[in-house]
A and B are shown apart, each in its own frame.
Chain A
Amino acid sequence: MPQSSFGLISKAAAVYAKDLRLELRTKYALNAILMFGITTLTVVSFSVGQSGLPPKLLSALFWIVMFFSAMSGLAQVFIREEEAGTALAMKLTADPDAIYWGKLGFNLTLLSIMTVIITPIFFVFTDAPTDNVLLFVLVLFLGMLGLCGATTIIAAIIARASVKGALFAVLSFPLLLPLLLVLVKATERVLLGVSFSSIAIELQFLVAFAVVMVVGSVMLFKFVWLD
Chain B
Amino acid sequence: MYRLKGEGLSKRFGGLKVFSKLSFDLRTGDSMAVVGPNGSGKSTLMMVLLSIYRPTRGKISYLRDENSMEEAQIRSSVSLVSPYLNLYDQLSGEENLKFFATVAGESVTGKEIERLLEKVGLAGRGMDLVGGYSSGMKQRLKYATALLNKPAFLFLDEPTSNLDAAGKKIVSEVIEEYRSQAIIVIATNEQEEYSLATKQLRVDQ
The residues of A with any CB-CB pair to B shorter than 8 Å are: 1-2, 4-6, 10-11, 14-15, 18, 21-22, 25-26, 84-86, 88-95, 98-99, 226-227
Contacts and interface: CB of A to CB of B under 8 A. Distances in A.
Interface in B89-146: 89-91, 95, 99-100, 102-107, 145
A2 B100 CA distance: 14
B12 interface: no
A22 B52 contact: no
Contact of B100 (A6, A88, A93, A99): A93
Contact of B86 (A21, A85, A93): A85
Interface residues of B, number: 35
Given A11-B102, A14-B102, A93-B103, A1 B86 contact: no
B13 interface: no
The A interface is mostly helix, strand or loop, or mixed, namely helix
Contacts of B73: 1
Interface of B: 50-52, 54, 64, 72-73, 75-80, 82, 84-91, 95, 99-100, 102-107, 145, 149-150, 152
The B interface is mostly helix, strand or loop, or mixed, namely loop
B102 A92 contact: no
A5 B104 CA distance: 10
A89 B149 contact: no
B75 A93 contact: yes
A11 B100 CA distance: 10
Would you list the 7 A-B pairs with minimal beta carbon distance, nearest first?
Answer: A4-B105, A85-B86, A94-B103, A14-B102, A6-B105, A25-B90, A88-B85
A2 B107 CA distance: 10
